[in-house]
Chain A
């Protein structure tokens, strides 16, 4: 058997989902007996059959990618509960196996996949989607690129009608319907008031109650920036108008157009707007979110 053919057959077997009791299946994806399939390319030894030797790799594969996904999406796990999360993981990883050299990217297609397969989110689909987006943004913000931040003197004499500001690549903008930011911090044990939430001692019932309470909330607009300070990721809620400006800047609009877009239909009184804008830019610049656009 040629190298490529052998690797295709072995990979197909290794990536075949396990049985509910986490063993290798008896039937291969092509409908062949897995015993016969294993025996056709793997030698048995005095202790293990070909099937058992192949099974070691089959189990290792699934344990590894399951734990990688669970590690990246603890919030989604809390939203769905263990059983539904496991079912989702299995279905997602079958449809979207890793196509990257790094496991970091394993969850990169989860949002799109979940939108196409709403039954895995069940009655909490919208909350689940918000949580997936937040957890993926968290990953992107953690190790995304940063470029030298803009200094105030870079802006001297700039014309807002033509000036294009660029956001740091690591800055992530999310428009959400549920307060998943608070929920995720609680799941990770990072909220002062919620230190017990993530601990094992914390009653599972209370944990479920907390998630259920969030799920019952009436969806409302929440605008969130996921960013970094001193290499740690933070969530910062912003006003709708702030979010619109930041989104427009990210889309490559000029400063002038971005600000115009933000106040179309805004309830902020006209006389307060200039002061607001000044304050927002002051905050964003202090956080180092801007760099000059190459365009």
Chain B
């Protein structure tokens, strides 16, 4: 399944996040990497080093854009300046799809710069889906939404997180960036069965997957992206791949970033699961 209308009928393999600490290694050693995910906001600038580096990367690699501040779930109107800058970048990178999170983070024009959890209500689903459509219509590329990890739930919620995700993507007719680490983190923080979440995802809408590490505290788990992927998350990834099929997969490592090779090797562990799913399909 992998190639579908939500990832622009591409069949990308395993990628890693493009991070400044690895620029030198990538540009001088030119390692073989299937694709890089960039944080859009880091390159939504007018000029200078960020764009120069990006252009050099684009000469040799495929890049997919991942955003952190579109806040589809904010009740605020979309910032047109943000959209314009994002579209300029989309034209530069020729990203096959654009992803951002199913969350909110700003209100009345003030930004928290965090991925805050949604209340799982029908009103919120409607508002969010409308914004996803607006962004997609403006950017003219598929837009996919990513499930976030969360540490709080609201009294007003009318459904589970996975029901909410389904409600939004159906209404918006958009794709999903399924983050299995986030599912695992939230399942621990909110005591639900992560497998049930994975099983309820409309497989045909998954455009991409995220895997990552996290930090465990006594009473909760924080999504810190500063560790290797743990076994239960690989298990969940395996389960998702069995259901969805070979899907573009990206390892997120954003803090205490080790060497390029270490990050890439960790990401490539996903091959084991992708291969077994390919085998299952062949049989």
Contact = CB atoms under 8 A, between A and B. Distances in A.
A43 B155 contact: yes
B46 A143 contact: yes
B107 interface: yes
A102 B114 contact: no
Contacts of A144: 46-48
Contacts of B138: none
A144 to B, nearest CB: 6
A104 B69 CA distance: 13
Interface stretch (A6-14, A129-137, A279-287): A6-14
Interface stretch (A45-53, A113-121, A198-206, A215-223): A45-53
Given A8-B107, A11-B107, A41-B154, A142 B49 contact: yes
Interface residues of A, number: 49
B112 A45 contact: no
A169 interface: yes
Interface in A46-65: 46-48, 50, 52-54, 56-57, 60-61, 64-65
Contacts of B33: none
A4 interface: yes
Given A7-B107, A101-B111, A57 B123 contact: no
Q: Which 6 A-B pairs have the closest CB atoms?
A: A145-B46, A143-B45, A4-B75, A231-B49, A143-B48, A53-B152
Interface string B189-217: 11100000000000000000000000000
B25 interface: no
A10 B103 CA distance: 13
A87 interface: no
A48 B219 contact: yes
B124 interface: yes
A42 B154 contact: yes
Given A2-B123, A64-B114, 7 more contacts: A6-B156, A7-B74, A11-B108, A45-B191, A48-B151, A102-B69, A103-B113
Given A101-B79, A142-B49, A169-B46, A7 B154 contact: no
Interface of A: 1-4, 6-8, 10-11, 14-15, 40-43, 45-48, 50, 52-54, 56-57, 60-61, 64-65, 68, 97-104, 141-146, 169-170, 228, 231-232
Given A3-B119, A7-B104, A15-B112, A45 B46 contact: no
B110 A14 contact: no
Given A3-B123, A48-B219, A64-B113, A56 B152 contact: yes
B153 interface: yes
A274 B219 CA distance: 74
A99 B109 contact: yes
A169 B47 CA distance: 10
A56 B220 CA distance: 10
B116 interface: yes
B82 to A, nearest CB: 5
A169 B45 CA distance: 13
Contacts of A65: 113
B81 to A, nearest CB: 8
A7 B152 contact: no
Contact of A7 (B41, B44, B75): B75
Interface string B33-74: 000000001001111111111000000000000000110001
A3 B47 contact: no
A40 B127 CA distance: 23
Contacts of B276: none
Interface of B: 41, 44-53, 69-70, 74-75, 79, 82, 104, 106-114, 116, 119, 121, 123-124, 127, 151-156, 189-191, 219-220, 222
15 contacts: A7-B74, A7-B104, A7-B107, A11-B106, A14-B114, A40-B155, A43-B152, A52-B219, A56-B152, A57-B152, A60-B114, A68-B113, A103-B113, A146-B48, A231-B52
A109 B232 CA distance: 45
Contacts of B46: 143-145, 169-170
Contacts of B82: 101
B151 A53 contact: yes
B47 A61 contact: no
Contacts of A54: 152
A224 to B, nearest CB: 19
Given A46-B191, A47-B220, A6 B119 contact: yes
A57 B110 contact: no
B114 A98 contact: no
Contacts of A8: 107-108
Given A7-B75, A100-B111, A101-B111, A232 B47 contact: no
Given A11-B110, A101-B79, A231-B52, A57 B151 contact: yes
A6 B74 contact: no
A58 B109 CA distance: 18
Contacts of A61: 112-114
Nearest to A146: B47
A41 B157 CA distance: 10
Contacts of A6: 119, 154, 156
Contacts of B53: 231
